[in-house]
Structure 1
Amino acid sequence: MHACLVRSAAALAVAAGTLSWAPAASAEPSEPTPSASAAPAAKPASDAGSVEITTKDTAGDALPGAAFLLLDSAGQEAARGQSDAQGSLTFPDLAPGVYRLKQMASGSPLHEIVSDQDVIVTPSATTRLTITDPFKAAKVLLQAKDDKTGSLLPGATVNIGTGTSTLLTLTTGTKGAASGELPVSSRRTQFWVKEIKAPAGYDLYKPTKTFTAGPGAPVTVAVTNAKTATDPKPDPSSKPTHRPTDSPSSPGKPNSGTAGATPSASGSDTPEPDSSPVAATSVKDSTQKTPTGSLAHTGADATPWLVGGAAVLIAAGGGALLLARRSRTDSLTDDSPES
């Protein structure tokens, strides 16, 4: 039928006396135009994952304003952002894979940032991370001082810690000072300091001192030492100029007043009686001194001396009387008349 229509059209053109070109329809079937619905479908969004970050410090407080950068496996930036007032931050719509998380700032002048870490994003899942930023360390200056003059002392060693843990050991140098850093766990942390070695020539400072330090803040701690007491050495030039006197209370020892007397030949402690009453009295006084702390003598021991003295006096008186009578007799004889 299609061929009949073509012949009829050609006959009509010839009959009209004109020659014109009329395209002939092709008998080949035409290709259907592809529809938009036949285009390949995009990867469904449900395969994407996300990263949720919570920031806080070692005391448990949230850290707003902490900045983070997320890099893909090729090192290209995949996302960046800052934590909100609650310390939270979310990176959504991330293709599954391994990422590198970098903290750029802690959001606080009292806190340090953490090291970089890898983050794995899984399809249709949220990876949750808790970032804990430590406090900045406190800066400690230790000094050892003389408790009298306040001068700095080298060679003092102390331990510094908190609770039952020793965190730092410092030894003062030639200028009497030493410095170090103390890790802190809160905005105000209490520490103790105890000296374990004293400077040369000084006693150990035994009390345990306490002090408080804050993050990143400098603090000075001082221990005081007293000089070690030493006994004075005797002066070799100091020599006694006289011999000590024997105590009169020591029995059997000669008295200092009779040190030059010649001992009797018999070796007896009893001295020979003197013919003079004065000598007898002197001997009595020197031998009858009452020692300190002992009972006084009754005087019975002086009887022989008194008897001897009396005998001497009687003999002397008798001799004098005899001489007087003889002298009188001679005088009477000379005065009588001659016959």
Structure 2
Amino acid sequence: MHARLVRSAAALAVAAVGTLTWAPAASAEPSEPTPLASAETPAPDAGSVEITTKDTAGDALPGAEFLLLDSAGQKAGHGTTDAQGKLTFSDLAPGVYRLKETASGSPLHEVVADQDVIVTPGATTRLTITDPFKAAKVLLQAKDDKTGKLLPGATVNISTGTSTLLTLTTGAKGTASGELPMSSRKAQFWVKEIKAPAGYHLYKPTKTFTAAPGAPVTVTVTNAKTTTPKPEPSGKPTHTPTDTPAGPGKPNSGTGRATPSASDSDTPEPGSSTMAATPAGDSTPKTPTGSLAHTGADATPWLIGGAAVLIAAGGGALAVTRRSRTNSHTEDSTGS
């Protein structure tokens, strides 16, 4: 009986020891939980984009507006440059973005084209945006230097320094227009005509003018008209030449007047009549067939001819008188 009690007590002791040993092991399992998989991956570092805006002259451009889009085309940022022309987009996830300039903030400048921007973890991507100046609007006119008429067909080069920036040719209305690139807020250019309008001399002087971004400017060249040569004569006379005078005693066929004969100019004998001699033959001049009746104006040559005859007759009479006196004096001297 006593042996049975001992064996029973030993079995209970073994059972109790086994229970005490297992219990702590079971209670220790929940004190060491397995870490979650998401906690093992650290969060990525954000990046940023810093923009500096200038013009081609190097001056900062405040007030320029920009829009930043992510790879899905969603808005990731929007802002305006400060007084130093700077703008920063912060807390951007790494990736590729699209940057758009929506306004330059200046009436003298154009916006730039869209561009891609790469954002890297924990880094700042710096960009310099250079806004170009707006082009000057040029109006070319070619004019007649006397009348001011607009002339088509004039071609000019517009240059600065040694570079030709724009070539214009006036159209049917005598004008042409174009855009002149600008690199500063004000610049001087020169104009040279390389082809003159038809019928005009080339305008050789070089003209200068000043232009500003986005502003209109008018350039005028003047051309002198070429001299028109006079027409050459045709070689044919424009009037009928006077006919050759007819023979003595016959009237000219061209004038209808009679020509005195050679005997009319003979010196008359002393004591002859002082009347003017008439041409040989018929004393009345004959009117050529087909000519008009003579007027009193035709008597003028006859009067001149008669006066000449009278003068000649008087001279002859004086010569004869002196000769007679000389002969008489000689005879008287011989007789004595």
Which secondary structure does the structure 1 equivalent of 2:39 belong to? Answer: coil
Structure 2 length-normalised TM: 0.61
Q: Which deviates more, 161-170 or 70-79?
A: 70-79
What RMSD in Å do the two structures reach over aligned CA positions? 3.7
* Alpha-carbon spacing, 1:184–1:34, altered in 2? closer, same or farther (3 Å): farther
Q: Deviations over 1:226-259 (max 9, x none)?
A: 111234234446669889xxxxxxxxxxxxxxxx
Q: Deviations over 1:33-68 (max 9, x none)?
A: 788x977267456x2221111001111111111111
- Alignment match, 1:78: 76
- What are the ranges of 5 or more consecutive residues in structure 2 without an aligned counterpart? 1-12, 17-24, 243-322
Deviation at 1:221, TM superposition (A): 0.6
Whole-angstrom distance in 1 between the partners of 2:102 and 2:131: 12
- The yes-or-no answer on 1:131 pairing with 2:129 is yes
- The yes-or-no answer on 1:40 pairing with 2:39 is yes
Deviation at 1:32, TM superposition (A): 3.2
Code of the residue aligned with 1:60 in structure 2: it is G
| Residue in structure 2 matching 1:216, options 191, 194, 214 | 214
* Alpha-carbon spacing, 1:179–1:51, altered in 2? closer, same or farther (3 Å): same
- The yes-or-no answer on 1:106 pairing with 2:104 is yes
- Alignment match, 2:153: 155
- The yes-or-no answer on 1:144 pairing with 2:133 is no
Deviation at 1:77, TM superposition (A): 1.7
Code of the residue aligned with 1:186 in structure 2: it is S
Whole-angstrom distance in 2 between the partners of 1:132 and 1:34: 61
- Alignment match, 1:332: none
- Alignment match, 1:275: none
- For 1:1-339, list aligned pairs within 5 A: 29=27, 32=30, 40=39, 43-44=42-43, 47-236=45-234
Deviation at 1:122, TM superposition (A): 1.7
Whole-angstrom distance in 1 between the partners of 2:40 and 2:81: 36
Whole-angstrom distance in 2 between the partners of 1:184 and 1:135: 6
* Alpha-carbon spacing, 1:114–1:238, altered in 2? closer, same or farther (3 Å): farther
Q: Which deviates more, 232-241 or 196-205?
A: 232-241
Q: Deviations over 1:188-215 (max 9, x none)?
A: 1111111000011110000111111111
Whole-angstrom distance in 1 between the partners of 2:69 and 2:237: 89
* Alpha-carbon spacing, 1:40–1:199, altered in 2? closer, same or farther (3 Å): same
Whole-angstrom distance in 1 between the partners of 2:122 and 2:87: 18
Deviation at 1:187, TM superposition (A): 1.2
- What are the ranges of 5 or more consecutive residues in structure 1 without an aligned counterpart? 5-26, 244-316, 330-339
- Count the aligned residue pairs: 237
Whole-angstrom distance in 1 between the partners of 2:57 and 2:89: 26
* Alpha-carbon spacing, 1:67–1:238, altered in 2? closer, same or farther (3 Å): farther
State the identity %. Answer: 73
